[in-house]
Amino acid sequence: MPIMKQILLALVFWGVGLGTAHAQNASEIARIQAGQSCAGCNLFQADLSYHDLPNIDVSGARLRQADLSLSTMNGARFVGTNLSVANLFGARFTNANFRNANLDGANLVGAYFGGADFTGAHFVGANLSGAEMGAAHGLTQTQLNSACGDSSTELPAGLHITPCH
Protein backbone atom coordinates (compact mmCIF):
# COMPACT_ATOMS: atom_id res chain seq x y z
CA MET A 1 0.00 0.00 0.00
CA PRO A 2 1.42 3.42 -0.91
CA ILE A 3 2.65 5.48 2.03
CA MET A 4 0.21 8.37 1.38
CA LYS A 5 -2.73 5.98 1.49
CA GLN A 6 -1.44 4.52 4.77
CA ILE A 7 -1.12 8.00 6.25
CA LEU A 8 -4.61 8.95 5.06
CA LEU A 9 -6.13 5.79 6.55
CA ALA A 10 -4.30 6.38 9.82
CA LEU A 11 -5.61 9.97 9.99
CA VAL A 12 -9.18 8.86 9.24
CA PHE A 13 -8.99 6.15 11.89
CA TRP A 14 -7.44 8.58 14.39
CA GLY A 15 -10.11 11.23 13.64
CA VAL A 16 -12.97 8.75 14.09
CA GLY A 17 -11.52 7.67 17.41
CA LEU A 18 -11.29 11.26 18.55
CA GLY A 19 -14.85 11.97 17.50
CA THR A 20 -16.36 9.18 19.54
CA ALA A 21 -14.15 9.84 22.54
CA HIS A 22 -15.35 13.43 22.75
CA ALA A 23 -19.04 13.12 21.85
CA GLN A 24 -21.52 14.31 24.44
CA ASN A 25 -22.82 11.94 27.09
CA ALA A 26 -26.63 12.12 27.19
CA SER A 27 -26.96 10.44 30.59
CA GLU A 28 -24.50 12.89 32.16
CA ILE A 29 -26.35 15.82 30.59
CA ALA A 30 -29.66 14.50 31.96
CA ARG A 31 -28.04 14.19 35.38
CA ILE A 32 -27.04 17.86 35.35
CA GLN A 33 -30.45 18.94 34.00
CA ALA A 34 -31.98 17.15 37.00
CA GLY A 35 -29.83 19.26 39.34
CA GLN A 36 -27.18 16.67 40.26
CA SER A 37 -23.49 17.56 40.29
CA CYS A 38 -21.28 15.88 37.74
CA ALA A 39 -17.62 16.86 38.12
CA GLY A 40 -15.46 15.74 35.20
CA CYS A 41 -18.46 14.87 33.02
CA ASN A 42 -18.64 15.21 29.25
CA LEU A 43 -21.36 17.82 28.75
CA PHE A 44 -20.31 18.88 25.25
CA GLN A 45 -23.05 21.02 23.66
CA ALA A 46 -25.39 20.43 26.62
CA ASP A 47 -28.56 22.50 26.70
CA LEU A 48 -28.78 23.92 30.22
CA SER A 49 -30.58 27.10 29.18
CA TYR A 50 -33.29 28.37 31.54
CA HIS A 51 -32.25 25.87 34.25
CA ASP A 52 -31.99 26.74 37.94
CA LEU A 53 -28.98 24.77 39.19
CA PRO A 54 -27.78 26.25 42.50
CA ASN A 55 -24.50 24.95 43.94
CA ILE A 56 -24.01 22.49 41.06
CA ASP A 57 -20.45 21.14 40.75
CA VAL A 58 -19.20 20.62 37.20
CA SER A 59 -15.52 21.12 38.03
CA GLY A 60 -13.27 19.67 35.34
CA ALA A 61 -16.25 18.99 33.08
CA ARG A 62 -16.35 19.57 29.34
CA LEU A 63 -19.05 22.16 28.68
CA ARG A 64 -17.59 23.24 25.35
CA GLN A 65 -20.27 24.84 23.13
CA ALA A 66 -22.88 24.32 25.87
CA ASP A 67 -25.90 26.60 26.18
CA LEU A 68 -26.21 28.04 29.69
CA SER A 69 -28.15 31.10 28.52
CA LEU A 70 -30.64 32.58 30.97
CA SER A 71 -29.84 29.92 33.56
CA THR A 72 -29.26 30.54 37.26
CA MET A 73 -26.22 28.78 38.71
CA ASN A 74 -25.54 30.64 41.94
CA GLY A 75 -22.76 29.06 43.99
CA ALA A 76 -21.85 26.70 41.14
CA ARG A 77 -18.34 25.23 40.82
CA PHE A 78 -16.68 25.45 37.40
CA VAL A 79 -13.11 24.89 38.61
CA GLY A 80 -10.97 23.85 35.62
CA THR A 81 -14.08 23.45 33.46
CA ASN A 82 -13.89 23.82 29.68
CA LEU A 83 -16.56 26.41 28.82
CA SER A 84 -14.94 27.42 25.53
CA VAL A 85 -17.38 28.70 22.93
CA ALA A 86 -20.21 28.27 25.48
CA ASN A 87 -23.24 30.58 25.59
CA LEU A 88 -23.68 32.17 29.03
CA PHE A 89 -25.94 34.97 27.74
CA GLY A 90 -27.96 36.61 30.51
CA ALA A 91 -27.21 33.86 33.03
CA ARG A 92 -26.74 34.45 36.76
CA PHE A 93 -23.60 33.13 38.52
CA THR A 94 -23.60 34.77 41.97
CA ASN A 95 -20.60 33.51 44.00
CA ALA A 96 -19.74 30.91 41.35
CA ASN A 97 -16.20 29.55 41.17
CA PHE A 98 -14.55 29.78 37.73
CA ARG A 99 -10.97 29.21 38.94
CA ASN A 100 -8.79 28.06 36.02
CA ALA A 101 -11.85 27.71 33.77
CA ASN A 102 -11.51 27.99 30.00
CA LEU A 103 -13.95 30.63 28.74
CA ASP A 104 -12.16 31.16 25.41
CA GLY A 105 -14.59 32.32 22.75
CA ALA A 106 -17.51 32.22 25.20
CA ASN A 107 -20.50 34.55 25.07
CA LEU A 108 -20.87 36.20 28.50
CA VAL A 109 -23.11 39.00 27.18
CA GLY A 110 -25.37 40.39 29.89
CA ALA A 111 -24.44 37.70 32.45
CA TYR A 112 -24.21 38.47 36.17
CA PHE A 113 -21.10 37.38 38.10
CA GLY A 114 -21.45 39.05 41.53
CA GLY A 115 -18.86 37.55 43.88
CA ALA A 116 -17.64 35.07 41.25
CA ASP A 117 -14.00 33.92 41.36
CA PHE A 118 -12.10 34.11 38.06
CA THR A 119 -8.60 33.42 39.36
CA GLY A 120 -6.59 31.86 36.53
CA ALA A 121 -9.54 31.78 34.11
CA HIS A 122 -8.96 32.26 30.36
CA PHE A 123 -11.04 34.63 28.22
CA VAL A 124 -9.33 34.62 24.79
CA GLY A 125 -11.88 35.94 22.32
CA ALA A 126 -14.70 36.00 24.90
CA ASN A 127 -17.44 38.63 24.60
CA LEU A 128 -18.15 40.30 27.96
CA SER A 129 -20.46 43.01 26.61
CA GLY A 130 -22.90 44.08 29.30
CA ALA A 131 -21.56 41.51 31.76
CA GLU A 132 -21.79 42.51 35.41
CA MET A 133 -18.41 41.60 36.89
CA GLY A 134 -17.85 44.61 39.17
CA ALA A 135 -18.07 42.48 42.32
CA ALA A 136 -16.15 39.52 40.86
CA HIS A 137 -12.66 38.75 42.11
CA GLY A 138 -9.55 37.14 40.69
CA LEU A 139 -9.80 39.13 37.44
CA THR A 140 -6.63 40.67 36.05
CA GLN A 141 -5.99 43.13 33.27
CA THR A 142 -3.98 40.45 31.46
CA GLN A 143 -7.04 38.18 31.36
CA LEU A 144 -9.25 40.98 30.10
CA ASN A 145 -6.76 42.05 27.41
CA SER A 146 -7.65 38.93 25.41
CA ALA A 147 -11.43 39.51 25.62
CA CYS A 148 -13.76 42.29 24.51
CA GLY A 149 -16.76 44.10 25.91
CA ASP A 150 -18.62 47.37 25.67
CA SER A 151 -19.36 50.50 27.68
CA SER A 152 -21.92 48.64 29.80
CA THR A 153 -19.47 45.93 30.92
CA GLU A 154 -19.01 46.34 34.68
CA LEU A 155 -15.53 45.48 35.95
CA PRO A 156 -13.71 45.81 39.28
CA ALA A 157 -12.10 49.20 39.87
CA GLY A 158 -8.96 49.82 37.82
CA LEU A 159 -9.72 47.25 35.12
CA HIS A 160 -10.88 47.99 31.57
CA ILE A 161 -11.82 46.07 28.44
CA THR A 162 -11.34 46.62 24.73
CA PRO A 163 -14.55 47.24 22.76
CA CYS A 164 -15.81 44.37 20.59
CA HIS A 165 -15.80 44.97 16.84
pLDDT digits (tens, 9 = 90+) for 22-56: 678 999 999 999 999 999 999 999 999 999 999 99
Residue 125 within a domain: yes
How much is the pLDDT for 24? 83
Contact 143, 162 (CB under 8 A): no
Q: Which CATH number covers residue 81?
A: 2.160.20.80
Max Cα–Cα distance, the chain, nearest Å? 64
Looking at the structure of the chain, the number of domains it has is 1
Whether residue 148 is predicted with pLDDT greater than 60 in this model: the reply is yes
Please report which confidence band the pLDDT of residue 1 belongs to, taking 50, 70 and 90 as the band edges: very low
Residue 29 within a domain: no
Residue 155 within a domain: yes
Close Cβ partners of 162 (under 8 Å, ≥ 6 residues apart): 145, 147, 148, 149
DSSP 37-70: --TT-B-TT-B-TT-B-TT-B-TT-B-TT-B-TT
Residue 94 within a domain: yes
Residue 72 within a domain: yes
Residue 43 within a domain: yes
Residue 83 within a domain: yes
Whether residue 3 is predicted with pLDDT greater than 60 in this model: the reply is no
Rounded mean pLDDT of the chain?
A: 90
Average the pLDDT over 126-151 and give the result: 98
pTM of the predicted structure, to 2 decimals: 0.86
Residues of the domain holding 75: 37-165
Residue 2 within a domain: no
What pLDDT digit, counting tens, does each position of 65-76 carry?
Answer: 999 999 999 999
d(CA 33, CA 115): 24
How much is the pLDDT for 22? 61
Average the pLDDT over 1-6 and give the result: 44
Share of the chain above pLDDT 90, in %: 85
